[in-house]
């Protein structure tokens, strides 16, 4: 059994929490007024079916080493601790646009695990701020990235912006995970009063990635789409730089399927609510 499988096997699920050894993850989807631990926990926005999907995915990639991991979206530090325990990266950097700092529980976690140097967090950082992302990558990593996990805005424009900024830093065979890509198809997001009612879903981005993968394996070697996340594996031969990288330059379409008049443009219009 791999270390990853062993760690997934140690997870204990209860109605309002997930436990991993001495770590407590409060399941925010199921919180109520009976919570007795106050702030002695991580606030965790992953649920058991999603984690089960991840366990199945990583069981097929037991030899994958995530030495350098960049995570977009911190929230309360729960996912950072979770992936740090599951994957054991040598360097783990996470960013979030929230105007706050690490929680005391998260700080104590880093101290107990001796990870004050291996885990770095950058608050007040927008995932669409390409210049800042490049500064962080240059300052924190001494080699290419193995894994990028985007659990940040879940909106089309900033998600694509950070993908185009960061994907060139992945090593060949490295993975880029986009979480919750399918929210535009979940009924709880369909109400006209929902805060995201006028936002563009991530589905067009997934379709664009499919188009890149269909055009050539040079840039995207494989694309795995699950209900809760999509995984893009970088190809081995494409030569790209972050300064000029655009997905559009790596998609070949028939004239009748072009963005200006084709089915993809029609899909984008349907998924973009009128303002």
- CA of 120: how far to CAs of 49, 57, 94, 102, 110, in Å? 28, 26, 6, 10, 10
Q: Is residue 12 part of a domain?
A: no
> Is the pTM of the predicted complex or chain greater than 0.85?
yes
**What are the Cα distances from residue 163, in Å, to 43, 68, 134?**
26, 16, 12
Res. 55 pLDDT band, cuts 50 70 90? very high
* CA 106 to chain centroid: 20
Distance, CA of 78 to CA of 83 (rounded, Å): 9
Q: What is the mean pLDDT of residues 13-26?
A: 97
Residue 19 domain flag: no
Query: Looking at the predicted structure, is the pLDDT value of residue 13 above 70?
Result: yes
Residue 275 confidence (pLDDT) above 50: no
The better pLDDT of the pair 34, 269 is held by 34
Domains held by the chain: number: 1
3-state secondary structure of 125: coil
Q: Coil, helix or strand for 267?
A: helix
What pLDDT digit, counting tens, does each position of 257-267 carry?
Answer: 765 445 555 55
Q: Domain containing 195: what range?
A: 46-271
Q: Does residue 121 sit within a domain?
A: yes
pLDDT of residue 3: 87
CATH number of residue 250's parent domain: 3.40.50.150
């Amino acid at each position: 059994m791999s270390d990853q499988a062993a760690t997934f096997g140690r997870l204990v699920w209860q109605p309002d929490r997930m436990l991993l050894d001495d770590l407590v993850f409060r399941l925010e989807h199921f919180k109520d007024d009976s919570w007795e631990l106050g702030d002695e926990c991580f606030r965790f926005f992953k649920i058991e079916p999603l984690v089960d999907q991840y366990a199945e995915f990583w069981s097929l990639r037991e030899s994958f080493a995530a030495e350098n991991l960049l995570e977009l979206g911190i929230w309360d530090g729960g996912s950072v601790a979770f992936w740090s325990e599951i994957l054991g990266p040598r360097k783990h950097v996470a960013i979030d646009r929230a105007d706050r700092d690490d929680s005391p529980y998260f700080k104590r976690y880093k101290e107990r695990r001796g990870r004050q140097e291996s885990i770095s967090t950058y608050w007040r950082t927008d995932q669409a701020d390409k210049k800042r992302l490049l500064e962080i990558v240059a300052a924190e990593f001494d080699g290419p990235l193995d894994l990028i996990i985007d659990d940040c805005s879940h909106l089309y424009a900033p998600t694509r912006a950070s993908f185009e900024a960061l994907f060139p830093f992945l090593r060949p065979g490295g993975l880029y995970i986009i979480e919750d890509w399918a929210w535009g198809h979940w009924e709880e997001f369909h109400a006209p009063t929902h805060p995201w009612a006028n936002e563009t879903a991530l589905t067009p981005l997934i379709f664009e990635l499919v188009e890149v993968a269909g055009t050539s394996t040079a840039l995207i070697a494989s694309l795995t789409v699950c209900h809760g996340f999509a995984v893009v594996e970088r190809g081995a031969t494409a030569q790209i730089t972050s300064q000029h990288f655009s997905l559009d330059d790596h998609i070949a379409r028939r004239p009748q399927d072009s963005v200006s008049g084709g089915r993809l443009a029609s899909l984008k219009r349907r998924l973009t609510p009128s303002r």
